[in-house]
Structure 1
Amino acid sequence: MSLGDSTEDEREIEKLYEAVPQLRNIFYIKSKIGEGTFSSVYLAIGRLRSGEDAKFALKHLIPTSHPTRIAAELQCLSVSGGEDNVMGVKYCFRNKDHVVIVMPYLEHECFADILHNLSFEETKEYMFNLLKALRRIHYFGIVHRDVKPSNFLYNRKLKQFALVDFGLAQGTPDTKIELLKVLRTNKQESCSLKPYTLSGNRVHPNVLLVNQPSSKKQSVKQQWSLTNPEDQVKEGLFGASTPRSVFGERNFNVYSAFPNDTSTLKTIKPSKVVDVTNRKLAAKKSVSAKCTNAGVARKPANAFQVNQVCDCYARDQVCNICLARARQVAPRAGTPGFRAPEVLTKCPDQTTAIDIWSAGIIFLSLLSGRYHFFNAGDDMNALAQIMTIRGSKETIQAAKCFGKTVLCSKDIPAKELRTLCEGLRKAVSFKSGEQHEAQKQKAVLQLKIMENQDGWFLPESSNLHQENSTGSNSCSESIPDQMDTEPVNVEGWDRVPEEAYHLLDRLLDMNPATRITAEEALLHPLFKNFS
């Protein structure tokens, strides 16, 4: 930390003391350890009644955070926290519109720093404890909605874990968190679900989403409330210079009754003549109809068939069928790369299964040695990347279960998870000395062979994804340089049991209705030696 940064942190600490004067008499704030869009986290020393000093994490929420959302986060921490690897809350201070949540401080490692040094046994232990935390919050009817490594703190030396940041949490219909019931009620009163399509623009050359007929029943485990899309929530890419998230403060939610995401109506090259004309015609025919939030006039219900397929796929304009459909309102929280398929396709009925999918992505990173595993700039590309692993047929079948239709321009076979993970892990398992270059070239060749089997790129670090997106093939340039300096822990990785990939397959089930639950996963044969 430079002198300038230290001075700036001191000024911010002093401002925090001024905003919440009660803190000065209780805590000595040492330093700022994290910063996000909606909060900042500080390391503080507090004196206990026993006379001993203890470390605490102080999470200062920005004044614009909605009071109900703040209270709901506190209630999640106080009711479910403190047991089974779920972070608890010690105190909460409020002065006017400033709120500070005081939590126990858990010194933890950065996931990317230890990813290649974990033995397979440690990997199993990590996943067991993560699923244990999810089982607890799901028991209370809490859907975390932003499960990722930076929100699951891990102290490798002490074998301690903590699931943190419930700023985006929502409740299931039978939630035991009273304030989450309030948020559900508010959302249901302020939003109404209407048919919509995500088609009409060429956002990705191989994937298209359209609405299923309304007569299709949505097969999911539980009903889910409507909420606002937190599109701005992003975590820094691998190797980026963005500050590391502490206690997930980047993803704290600001409650809003009406989402304003209009990205689904964008086109790459809108037609200046036909498109405008079509819009005017659509507006004239629907004078008496209500307008959507996006400002596009909606046709009467009898003006078109619900199951009518649009004719603008792979074209540079949006057709009248797409323009006539109302905008979909659905939950879209979480961090890019960890969103479940039902979130990416804006399925309104989202359950605790979305947390399980995120846990599966973490397990995929652990088994493959790749983090972040998926990097996509938008939902369509994110779904396309998932499709390269799970296959187009599986994606299409799963989408039908929650009322969506996925159209793909080519048949993409599902990858065998063991072959995929072992191939990617070998690419970073380099030995020092004279064999280093030979090992590296061999690993790169293996990746190229796997890649050329079906002509579809493998998920890699952000550099490889960007280069493959433009058509070039430079696998050797994507090999992380830090692998040269950090020894790779190969303990147990030469005998990964089939149970590990079976569990991974169940965690990454494309259908949320059949996706394994946290409670079921803890009973999986992979964890037979865990209590």
Structure 2
Amino acid sequence: MAAALLSQHSSNPLECGSSDPRNAEYRRRLKTAERRRSNLSSFSSDDPINGYVAEDMKQYHNHLAHVLPTFSAPKQAQNAYIDVDEDMESDDELIILPPTTKPAATHEASRNDHGDEHDDHEEIREEEELKDDPVDVDEELTIYLKTPEERAEIEEEITDLESKVPQLATDYKLIDRLGTGTFSSVYKAIDLGYHDKWDNSAWHGNHPFSSSAYYQSAPRPPDSKVFVAVKRIYVTSSPERIRNEISIMEDCRGCRHISQLITAFRQEDQVVAIMPYQRNEDFRDYFRVLPIPGIKAYFRCMFRALRDVHHRWIIHRDVKPANFLFDPRTGIGTLCDFGLASRMETSGPTYGACFHTPATPEHPHGKVHRNLSTRDIKAAQQAAKDKSKLPAERIGYPDKDTRPVTKANRAGTRGFRAPEVLLKCGEQTGAIDVWAAGMILLFFLTGKFPLFQSNDDTEALMEIATIIGYKEMENVATLHSRTFCTNVPSVQKGMPWREFVEKQNPSLWEPQEPDPRLYPYNQQAYHDHVSRSRERDAYSLPPTSSTTSSPPSLYFPRSSSPASASGSSAPDALQKPSEEAHRRDIEAALDLVEKLMEPWSTRRITPRQALAHPFLRGEEGDFDEAADDDEFVPHRPGEGVCAQWHFVDPVTETHGVKVLVPCECPRACGKVYEEVLMLEAGQGLAIGRQPCEFHHGMAVC
């Protein structure tokens, strides 16, 4: 239905005088969307988390029910709304009231200029009707929450894309724009053939119910509208860059917390990629208020994604908040945008080779050579020091430099590049993604974003050297066969990352008040956990095991809601974390920062080690304790316990499997035969210690 609003036809059913009842229905929905946009625009942009009205919370709960079949919102959340004063300060409390106590002023403000009571009752009736509509209606009309100018611009872009790629309009209904970038634009659309046209098994994957990535494999409810993200890659991108991105995304099918590639196609010079739609919030809206358990959820998702990507010898190269779609109310995060991703170099040493090895299975971030401290390197360092003492007119580059040009991949975003990228290391590993993840953790701990904003690589090196110190930066440069020298006084001493964080955020050690709108305090599973913990403490029972058959409550809330202040259990459950528990978490987080921001790439912690760190592992009995990550790792094609049944076709290089099928003869002889199946990317991946979906029940070990 909404396609009529965004189609290429000039007539609009909302503006014509047709008596079609669908027009009246959309007029009511459009009216409500415009009113909701007006309400949202009156909230402070500095605190949008506190600005969600009840209709948005209901829309969000419906969205969760659409994405996660196990989700259901409690009645008190469905029938509550938040009354916000326009002059509210950030420290004021939000009051959650039942709908019967709606203030008269709000009721009065909904009347028209003539004070007509009929319009007031009509709007209330429209709101009640929309409560019965599925989430798809609200998601389909999100474009009307934007300004008329932006809406017209988006509709023009959609019309242009549909005209240039007719196949897209046949299979997908474009309804909104999600974002734009230097190389592409992303639009929200409805998959018209999800239930009856496509085989979605390849991109859904086969993650078990207890895995944090199960939401990727969960089938969408029958007859529901399935939303996807349509990425339009601009024609200014080189064909090789487009090929590389599509190839890497296909190889990353089945990885956890990764934006899965559904399909991709080309129409002349237009290239389009289709991915699942992932709802998220702007990082700037929640990074100061997200509680510690939410921060843990953020990085569990991120490091699981990085672990799976690095296992496939791929570097993302552009890890940053804008490329990690995180929902602070569910704890679900998805890594996206592989436009700058690359494969790890294994070609061997080149001119100016570093004093460390490339990535290996035993040493994912490389290993230092024994001949690191050579006489030539020390001589070069001394020469650099001597040159820094020369007059200004004698400092610079040689007029006719005969040295060979050093080339290295320096792709990434300023402020997130690791030292080895800035020093043009030719054997870069996944450690550069880990450094960027550590930078994001600094944003959470310092409450400041961004921290580094350099104009070039030299300034970026100076920013890092100001913190780690001159001597450490000199040693890092030596590791990569480079020299570093400066006489800037502030660079000489340096400080630990811990000291840097404490200086930036003096209130770091003060526990935050629980926010009932954010994970985990809006999860019913959290309140159940608190109740069980109190019962266990009361009866001195031993702590329960964290290895259960049920999925982690972090990702699959069974009856989640923003805890109502009027509920009897909410005030008792939402207690501020104790100072001891908060201090323990901050100590662990600071230790993790030191390991993530280790200047030496070979010493930097790996994603697997980060997931085993106390900050992300938690302690026994914690609500957010993580299970053994090795149990849920998706192996590369042809690896795992059923590897002997997998093969690669030597001609087409297509991955295939061998399966045993019973004989179907009328005599029921009971014989079995070997059958060969050729697979698409994403199929046939063994998970942890379990075989792939084709070999369950077979004696594959």
- TM surpasses 0.5: yes
| Comparing 309-318 and 398-407, the one that deviates more | 309-318
Residue 179 of structure 1 corresponds to which residue in structure 2? none
Kindly, what percent of the aligned residue pairs are identical?
Answer: 33
Contact between 1:360 and 1:507, CA under 8 Å: does it hold in 2?
yes
Over 3 Å counting, the alpha-carbon distance change for 1:37 and 1:117 in structure 2 is same
Q: Give, in whole Å, the separation in 1 of the partners of 2:391 and 2:356.
A: 30
Is 2:622 aligned against 1:530? no
CA deviation after TM superposition for structure 1 residue 381, in Å: 1.3
Residue 342 of structure 1 corresponds to which residue in structure 2? 420
Find 1:11's aligned residue among 156, 180, 193. 156
Is 2:113 aligned against 1:36? no
Q: Give, in whole Å, the separation in 2 of the partners of 1:314 and 1:98.
A: 55
Q: Give, in whole Å, the separation in 2 of the partners of 1:20 and 1:347.
A: 41
Residue 545 of structure 2 corresponds to which residue in structure 1? none
For the residue of structure 2 that corresponds to 1:136, the secondary structure is helix
After superposition, the C-alpha distances for 1:55-86 in whole angstroms (9 at most, x for unaligned) are 11110001232333323322322232343211
AA matched with 1:222: A
CA deviation after TM superposition for structure 1 residue 423, in Å: 3.2
Relative contact order (C-alpha < 8 Å, sep 6+): which is higher?
Answer: 1
AA matched with 2:232: H
Contact between 2:408 and 2:426, CA under 8 Å: does it hold in 1?
yes
CA deviation after TM superposition for structure 1 residue 113, in Å: 1.0
Is 2:488 aligned against 1:399? no
Find 1:219's aligned residue among 348, 356, 361. 356
Contact between 1:119 and 1:490, CA under 8 Å: does it hold in 2?
no
TM-score, with structure 2 as normaliser: 0.48
Contact between 2:183 and 2:234, CA under 8 Å: does it hold in 1?
yes
* Residues 356-375 of structure 1 aligned to structure 2 (within 5 Å): 356-375=434-453
CA deviation after TM superposition for structure 1 residue 152, in Å: 0.9
CA deviation after TM superposition for structure 1 residue 370, in Å: 1.3
Residue 542 of structure 2 corresponds to which residue in structure 1? none
After superposition, the C-alpha distances for 1:406-436 in whole angstroms (9 at most, x for unaligned) are 11214632323333323322379999xxxxx
Over 3 Å counting, the alpha-carbon distance change for 1:148 and 1:322 in structure 2 is farther
Q: Give, in whole Å, the separation in 1 of the partners of 2:466 and 2:600.
A: 16
Q: Give, in whole Å, the separation in 1 of the partners of 2:228 and 2:436.
A: 28
CA deviation after TM superposition for structure 1 residue 91, in Å: 1.9
Q: Give, in whole Å, the separation in 2 of the partners of 1:100 and 1:193.
A: 37
Contact between 1:399 and 1:511, CA under 8 Å: does it hold in 2?
no
CA deviation after TM superposition for structure 1 residue 169, in Å: 1.1
Residue 500 of structure 2 corresponds to which residue in structure 1? 420
Residue 232 of structure 1 corresponds to which residue in structure 2? none
For the residue of structure 1 that corresponds to 2:322, the secondary structure is helix
CA deviation after TM superposition for structure 1 residue 506, in Å: 1.1
For the residue of structure 2 that corresponds to 1:30, the secondary structure is strand
CA deviation after TM superposition for structure 1 residue 502, in Å: 1.7
Residue 295 of structure 1 corresponds to which residue in structure 2? none
Find 1:505's aligned residue among 573, 591, 594. 594
Residue 65 of structure 1 corresponds to which residue in structure 2? 237
Contact between 1:147 and 1:359, CA under 8 Å: does it hold in 2?
yes
Find 2:409's aligned residue among 328, 331, 336. 331
After superposition, the C-alpha distances for 1:191-239 in whole angstroms (9 at most, x for unaligned) are x9655xxxxxxxxxxxxxxxxxx7xx5224439xxxxxxxxxxxxxxxx
Is 2:334 aligned against 1:162? yes
* Residues 435-474 of structure 1 aligned to structure 2 (within 5 Å): none
Contact between 1:194 and 1:329, CA under 8 Å: does it hold in 2?
no
| Comparing 139-148 and 515-524, the one that deviates more | 515-524
Residue 75 of structure 1 corresponds to which residue in structure 2? 247
Q: Give, in whole Å, the separation in 2 of the partners of 1:4 and 1:323.
A: 53
* Residues 136-285 of structure 1 aligned to structure 2 (within 5 Å): 136-173=308-345, 194=351, 218-222=355-359
AA matched with 1:25: T
CA deviation after TM superposition for structure 1 residue 127, in Å: 1.4
Find 2:607's aligned residue among 518, 523, 527. 518
AA matched with 1:421: V
Contact between 1:30 and 1:44, CA under 8 Å: does it hold in 2?
yes
Contact between 2:439 and 2:597, CA under 8 Å: does it hold in 1?
yes
Over 3 Å counting, the alpha-carbon distance change for 1:393 and 1:127 in structure 2 is same
For the residue of structure 2 that corresponds to 1:16, the secondary structure is helix
AA matched with 1:512: S
Name the Cα RMSD after superposition. Answer: 2.9
In structure 1, runs of 5+ residues without a counterpart are 175-183, 196-213, 224-304, 432-488
Q: Give, in whole Å, the separation in 2 of the partners of 1:320 and 1:160.
A: 53
Residue 95 of structure 1 corresponds to which residue in structure 2? 267
Over 3 Å counting, the alpha-carbon distance change for 1:31 and 1:403 in structure 2 is same
Find 1:114's aligned residue among 279, 286, 297. 286
Contact between 1:22 and 1:93, CA under 8 Å: does it hold in 2?
no
Over 3 Å counting, the alpha-carbon distance change for 1:128 and 1:500 in structure 2 is same
Q: Give, in whole Å, the separation in 1 of the partners of 2:190 and 2:258.
A: 22
Contact between 2:509 and 2:583, CA under 8 Å: does it hold in 1?
no
CA deviation after TM superposition for structure 1 residue 101, in Å: 0.5
For the residue of structure 2 that corresponds to 1:356, the secondary structure is helix
Contact between 1:115 and 1:366, CA under 8 Å: does it hold in 2?
yes
AA matched with 1:413: K
Q: Give, in whole Å, the separation in 2 of the partners of 1:327 and 1:137.
A: 31
Over 3 Å counting, the alpha-carbon distance change for 1:430 and 1:495 in structure 2 is closer
Over 3 Å counting, the alpha-carbon distance change for 1:408 and 1:55 in structure 2 is same
CA deviation after TM superposition for structure 1 residue 516, in Å: 1.1
Over 3 Å counting, the alpha-carbon distance change for 1:2 and 1:430 in structure 2 is farther
Find 1:355's aligned residue among 409, 422, 433. 433
Q: Give, in whole Å, the separation in 2 of the partners of 1:132 and 1:426.
A: 31
CA deviation after TM superposition for structure 1 residue 315, in Å: 1.8
AA matched with 1:338: F
AA matched with 1:419: E
Find 1:52's aligned residue among 209, 213, 224. 224
CA deviation after TM superposition for structure 1 residue 383, in Å: 1.1
After superposition, the C-alpha distances for 1:335-366 in whole angstroms (9 at most, x for unaligned) are 00000001111222211111111111111111
Q: Give, in whole Å, the separation in 1 of the partners of 2:463 and 2:350.
A: 28
Find 2:171's aligned residue among 17, 26, 40. 26
Residue 496 of structure 1 corresponds to which residue in structure 2? 585
Q: Give, in whole Å, the separation in 2 of the partners of 1:91 and 1:314.
A: 60
For the residue of structure 1 that corresponds to 2:485, the secondary structure is strand
Contact between 1:84 and 1:133, CA under 8 Å: does it hold in 2?
yes
AA matched with 1:357: W
AA matched with 1:518: P
Q: Give, in whole Å, the separation in 2 of the partners of 1:34 and 1:407.
A: 42
Contact between 1:220 and 1:512, CA under 8 Å: does it hold in 2?
no
Residue 315 of structure 1 corresponds to which residue in structure 2? 392
Over 3 Å counting, the alpha-carbon distance change for 1:373 and 1:490 in structure 2 is farther
TM-score, with structure 1 as normaliser: 0.62
For the residue of structure 1 that corresponds to 2:287, the secondary structure is helix
Find 1:134's aligned residue among 306, 317, 330. 306
CA deviation after TM superposition for structure 1 residue 514, in Å: 1.3
Contact between 1:29 and 1:43, CA under 8 Å: does it hold in 2?
yes
Q: How many residues align?
A: 358
Over 3 Å counting, the alpha-carbon distance change for 1:508 and 1:319 in structure 2 is closer
Over 3 Å counting, the alpha-carbon distance change for 1:145 and 1:51 in structure 2 is same
Over 3 Å counting, the alpha-carbon distance change for 1:513 and 1:44 in structure 2 is same
Q: Give, in whole Å, the separation in 1 of the partners of 2:576 and 2:452.
A: 24
